[in-house]
Amino acid sequence: MPRSAAKPDECVIVVKAQPHRSSKYFETVCCAGVGRDGRWRRQYPVPFRILHDGQKFTRWSWIRYEFTRSPDDRRTESQKVDPESLNVGGKLNRGERSQLLTPLIRRSFEEAETKGESLTLLRPESIAISWIEKTEADIAHERNEHAALANQLSMFDATAKPLEPCPVQFFAQWHDAQGAKHRHECDDWETSPAYIRFAKQYGRQEALAIIKEKYEQEYFNAGLCLAFSTHSRRNTTFGAKNQWLLVGLIRVDPLFHDDLFR
């Protein structure tokens, strides 16, 4: 599709999933945000690590960009972003986050599917964070793959460095508002780097304890939401049952009556 067909848009970033290797784009990040109209947008693929420093957004950043529609992604929220058009604005204030996101919280995957959504927020009734330790062979394989990828990325950005593999894979076990039990692999980009940072500073056991306390207590008591996206191929637009992927663990404080009139 020609550049002239691109459309402008803006949203506040809510989701940044972990980077994944791609045969077509070297490395991509699936991001998602909410526009000023209160609707979801999915930005994919985003070559995040070779964006210019001024284009590298974080959660709660407002971004402006141009996009086209990809014939390979039929999900209505999906946008194929032109990386060169990305501009990062200010951040959404903490007090505004709940007002923007609360209308998007659903009680179950079935409710989201009934509304035709491929992105959703669910507020868990309970949550437990667990993990599986990767083998040395798995970590070595990931490290080699990331090194080869960084070598490819260096064609676009000489400062590109290999990602450090996380030695554990995190999972969330949780119950939804209807009492159904779920278990999902955590693909949130903030979780693994946080663990690596804490492990270097405090040691492995303390780092795991910090991650569990952060999500199971601090975020859960304040208002934890789990952000989900359907798989790019395993979804209803391809005639398949939706496979929901956990792409974010986000604090969304509950709205009270008075907040609705601010």
Question: Mind listing the domains of the chain with CATH numbers?
Answer: 3-94 (2.40.50.730), 122-261 (no CATH)
238 neighbors 232 (Cβ within 8 angstroms) = no
What average pLDDT does this structure show over 188-202? 94
Encode pLDDT of 78-112 as tens digits: 999 998 999 999 999 988 999 999 999 999 999 99
| Burial call 164-176: b when 16+ CB within 10 Å, e when fewer | ebbbbebbbebeb
In three-state form (DSSP H/G/I as H, E/B as E, the rest C), the secondary structure along 73-115 is CCCCCEEEECHHHCEEEEECCHHHHHHHHHHHEECCHHHHHHC
Q: How many CA atoms, within 13 angstroms, populate the side-chain half-sphere of residue 217? A: 6
Q: Is 176 helix (H, G, I), strand (E, B) or coil?
A: coil
Q: What is the pTM of this model?
A: 0.90
129 neighbors 215 (Cβ within 8 angstroms) = yes
What average pLDDT does this structure show over 153-172? 75
- List the one residue out of 214, 15, 219, 216 whose CA is nearest residue 104: 15
Question: Tell me, what DSSP letter sits at residue 161?
Answer: -
* pLDDT above 90: percentage of residues in the chain: 70
**According to the model, what pLDDT value does residue 155 have?**
54
In angstroms, rounded to a whole number, what is the distance separating the alpha carbons of residues 151 and 141? 16
- List the one residue out of 138, 122, 116 whose CA is nearest residue 248: 122
To the nearest whole number, what is the mean pLDDT of the chain? Answer: 89
What average pLDDT does this structure show over 31-60? 89
**Confidence label for 1 from pLDDT (cuts 50, 70 and 90):** very low
In angstroms, rounded to a whole number, what is the distance separating the alpha carbons of residues 148 and 130? 30
